[in-house]
């Protein structure tokens, strides 16, 4: 009876938590609006395109409906996991907007369970709540609409905590680093830098070795992504990613040339609030390592770090040095939560969240209601009505190959609907038009060049009656067809470096699985314990 009596409150709390989570998911799914952050446009389109690809049974390695139906390499040039997870969720919920609203609820519900297990109920609840209302976290989702960055916060918290606590494990944290890379590469770059600093601060060579092992494992597990990505970056305008308004040196805190000056000023006050909170709460006494990491993050976001962004380092890929303020808030969460049970600590917490008073809460826009059945012309009309999105569904500037420059001319050449164009007298019928395969039956009285409504990108293979016939025509795929009746097929062949990366990932998985099996057998009670 005692065991049942003690267990009842726990079961009751679990039931209440499940009901609250279900209510939160239902409310998020049914809400008809989305926050109008500047990144909303691409995230809703990428989610919708993943839905379209998965519904057709294809991997989302080419987004077929973007750029006025000419397609885009899209999330191949981005960390793909966020859009993929949201796309699969969108299929389950029936809409891309619903997926974007529900994904953060699910991620942070799982995060709460992890924090409570690692910290205990009281401290864990305080730490989770601090991060949930942290101005920098809210800015990520509501201010910018940076879904992948926001979903990466729980993983960032775990990895930084493991490094600070000296609890790094090569296998476990290597796998988590791999997931973080696939979710948001800039956050991974910052995480590795801060984990290295935390490991060095402990002066423990074994910890440094574990971090190196975790990094090597993560690199192997994600080779199928970063290896072809490194090669394909030359096919797009890299300056669009790191130049102009995205130049890192232009976006340090306090820069008068920041492309969003009001936002930059507000973020500067967030940095000041964190530093004042650390001083007011005397965090350097209770947790010097986390406080030092916080100060380092603020320095890297400020003009003090400008010289680093001029060096030939990948730090320019951050675009905005103020990104460092999000990991600053993450490392501050634990020390702030521990110090929150006295007057000085509570004052520090208030100071840390004080910038919320002046946070520019975004307007909301109508959910455009994109589903797996929504075709590109209808989708363009919907996003244009909902939040003035481009009706031609052009992809992010850093994801546009050189052939995109001829999109305007090709829109005139193909018109709003034609899947192909050719000389007068040539006729065709669409036999198949899926994300990764386009097949036409073409009839012509004399040899003709037929262009397909697909942007020219080197990893498409074009055949005529099964024989290679790859050709290009003013920024699109094309084929020269002999007289008569023939089948023209364009198929996504893929970057061969991706196969090399998959082989590396398979080897890494095999090594990890073998190590885990050996560790299990060495444990008392394991399969080999009695032998």
Digit-coded pLDDT (tens) for 291-341? 999 999 999 999 999 999 989 888 988 999 999 999 999 999 999 988 888
- Asked if residues 142 and 38 have their Cβ atoms less than 8 Å apart, the reply is no
Res 9: pLDDT: 66
Backbone angles phi, psi at 129, to 5 degrees: -65, -40
For tokens 């089948």, name the residue: 487
d(Cα 504, Cα 221) in Å, to the nearest integer? Answer: 7
Confidence of residue 8 (pLDDT cuts 50, 70, 90): low
Domain(s) of CATH 2.60.40: residues in the chain? 408-492
Residue-wise pLDDT for 23-82, tens only, equals 999 999 999 999 999 999 999 999 999 999 999 999 999 999 999 999 999 888 899 999
Question: Which of 304, 302, 281 is closest to 291 using CA atoms?
Answer: 281
CATH placement of domain 408-492? 2.60.40
As a whole number, mean pLDDT of residues 215-232 equals 95
Confidence of residue 505 (pLDDT cuts 50, 70, 90): very high
Strands 467-468 and 448-455: unpaired
Torsion of CA 445, 447, 449, 450, to 10 degrees: 40
Confidence of residue 10 (pLDDT cuts 50, 70, 90): low
Q: Is the pLDDT of residue 3 over 60?
A: no
Res 313: pLDDT: 86
Angle of helix 343-353 relative to helix 325-338, nearest 10 degrees, comes to 160
DSSP string, 139-163: IIIIIT--HHHHHTHHHHHHHHHHH
Q: What is the pTM (predicted TM-score) of this model?
A: 0.93
What average pLDDT does the structure give for the chain?
A: 91
d(Cα 28, Cα 9) in Å, to the nearest integer? Answer: 28
The CA-CA-CA angle for residues 401, 404, 408, to 5°, reads 175
Res 413: pLDDT: 94
């Amino acid at each position: 009876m005692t065991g049942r009596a003690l267990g009842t409150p726990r079961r009751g709390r679990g039931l209440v938590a499940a009901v609250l989570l279900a209510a939160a998911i239902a409310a998020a799914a049914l809400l008809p609006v989305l926050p109008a952050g500047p990144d909303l446009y691409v995230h809703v389109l990428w989610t919708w395109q993943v839905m379209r690809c998965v519904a057709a049974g294809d991997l989302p390695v080419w987004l077929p409906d973007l750029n006025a139906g000419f397609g885009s390499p899209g999330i191949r040039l981005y960390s793909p996991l966020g859009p993929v997870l949201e796309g699969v969720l969108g299929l389950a919920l029936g809409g891309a907007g619903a997926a974007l609203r529900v994904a953060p609820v699910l991620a942070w519900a799982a995060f709460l369970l992890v924090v409570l297990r690692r910290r205990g109920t009281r401290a864990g609840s305080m730490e989770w709540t601090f991060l949930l209302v942290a101005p920098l976290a809210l800015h990520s989702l509501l201010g910018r609409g940076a879904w992948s960055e926001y979903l990466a916060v729980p993983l960032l918290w775990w990895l930084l905590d493991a490094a600070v606590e000296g609890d790094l494990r090569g296998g476990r944290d290597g796998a988590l680093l791999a997931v973080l890379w696939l979710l948001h590469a800039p956050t991974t770059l910052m995480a590795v830098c801060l984990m290295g600093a935390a490991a060095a601060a402990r002066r423990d060579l074994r910890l440094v070795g574990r971090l190196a092992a975790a990094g090597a494992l993560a690199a192997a597990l994600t080779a199928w992504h970063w290896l072809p990505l490194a090669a394909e970056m030359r096919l797009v305008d890299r300056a669009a990613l790191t130049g102009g308004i995205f130049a890192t040196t232009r976006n340090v805190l306090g820069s008068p040339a920041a492309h969003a000056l009001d936002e930059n000023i507000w973020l500067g006050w967030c940095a000041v609030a964190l530093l004042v909170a650390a001083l007011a709460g005397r965090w350097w006494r209770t947790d010097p390592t986390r406080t030092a990491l916080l100060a380092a993050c603020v320095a890297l976001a400020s003009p003090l770090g400008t010289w680093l962004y001029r060096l030939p380092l990948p730090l320019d890929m951050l675009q905005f040095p103020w990104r460092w303020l999000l990991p600053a808030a993450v490392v501050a969460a634990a020390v702030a939560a521990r110090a929150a049970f006295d007057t000085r600590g509570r004052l520090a917490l208030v100071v840390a969240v004080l910038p919320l008073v002046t946070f520019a809460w975004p307007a909301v826009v109508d959910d455009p209601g994109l589903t797996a059945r929504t075709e590109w012309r209808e989708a363009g009309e919907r996003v244009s009505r909902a939040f003035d999105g481009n009706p031609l569904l052009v992809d992010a500037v850093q994801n546009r190959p050189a052939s995109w420059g001829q999109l305007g001319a090709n829109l005139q050449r193909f018109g709003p609907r034609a899947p192909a164009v050719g000389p007068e007298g040539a006729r065709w019928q669409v036999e198949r038009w899926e994300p990764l395969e386009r097949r036409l039956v073409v009839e012509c009285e004399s040899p003709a060049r037929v262009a397909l409504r697909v942007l020219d990108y080197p990893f498409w293979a074009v055949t005529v009656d099964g024989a290679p016939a790859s050709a290009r025509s003013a920024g699109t795929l094309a084929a020269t067809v002999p007289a008569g009746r023939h089948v023209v097929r364009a198929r996504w062949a893929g970057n061969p470096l991706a196969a090399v990366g998959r082989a590396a990932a398979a080897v890494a998985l095999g090594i990890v699985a073998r190590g885990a099996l050996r560790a299990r057998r060495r444990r008392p009670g394991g399969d080999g314990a009695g032998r």
